[in-house]
């Protein structure tokens, strides 16, 4: 049986819930049910939830498919890699860039100065402020406040949306 479900908490997309009944025999207690939601929005990559209900047991599995980001840098100059990998994720681009720099330095045996390490730490903290502001106000707040998107949030609560953008900019 397939059900189309509209859920505001999941960005008003229609989700197909597959409810599958398995019978080992004719008795109802032998029946198990599985609920699958194949696409969840507002997560990095592709995610879904599988709930397998066996008697009184519920198993939840959230999965993410392989995205093969490492192939983006195959054949590229090491100098290009930090600029490429920082575009993998708009929410944590600084973390990806710093990690790429650290991997390159490790590969070449480069020891960075304390000043460079502290500067990177400061930049990383700014990136965390930006990403947390983005996550809280653009991704989570619409769900908490019962609206479908940050655009609707800005129309309904302009002061709150403005505060979120200021926090993001601060980072």
Residue 56 structure tokens:
């009184």
Say which residue the tokens 């991704």 belong to: 139
Q: Which residues contact 30 (CB under 8 A, 6 or more apart)?
A: 23, 24
Whether 92 has a binding-site annotation, put simply, is: yes
Cβ–Cβ < 8 Å for 64, 46: yes
How many angstroms separate the CA atoms of 127 and 112, rounded?
A: 20
Cα Rg of the chain (Å, integer): 22
The verdict on whether residue 41 carries a ligand-binding annotation is no
70 is in an annotated binding site: yes
Between CA 90 and CA 134 the distance in angstroms is: 10
Binding residues for Mg(2+): 70
Binding residues for Fe cation: 92
Binding residues: 70, 89, 92
Binding residues for Ni(2+): 89, 92
């Amino acid at each position: 049986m397939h059900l189309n479900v509209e859920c505001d908490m999941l960005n008003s997309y229609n989700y197909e819930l597959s409810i599958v009944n398995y019978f080992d025999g004719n008795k109802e207690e032998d029946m198990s049910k599985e609920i699958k939601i194949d696409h969840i929005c507002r997560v990095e990559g592709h995610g879904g939830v599988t709930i397998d209900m066996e008697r009184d047991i519920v198993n939840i599995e959230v999965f993410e498919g392989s995205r093969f980001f490492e192939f983006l840098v195959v054949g590229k100059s090491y100098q290009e890699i930090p600029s490429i990998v920082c575009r993998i994720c708009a929410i944590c681009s600084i973390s990806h860039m710093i990690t790429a720099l650290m991997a390159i330095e490790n590969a070449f045996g480069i020891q960075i100065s304390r000043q460079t390490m502290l500067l990177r730490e400061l930049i990383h903290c700014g990136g965390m402020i930006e990403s947390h502001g983005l996550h809280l106000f653009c991704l989570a707040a619409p769900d908490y406040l019962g609206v479908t998107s940050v655009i609707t949030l800005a129309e309904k609560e302009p002061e709150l949306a403005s505060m979120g953008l200021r926090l993001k900019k601060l980072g």
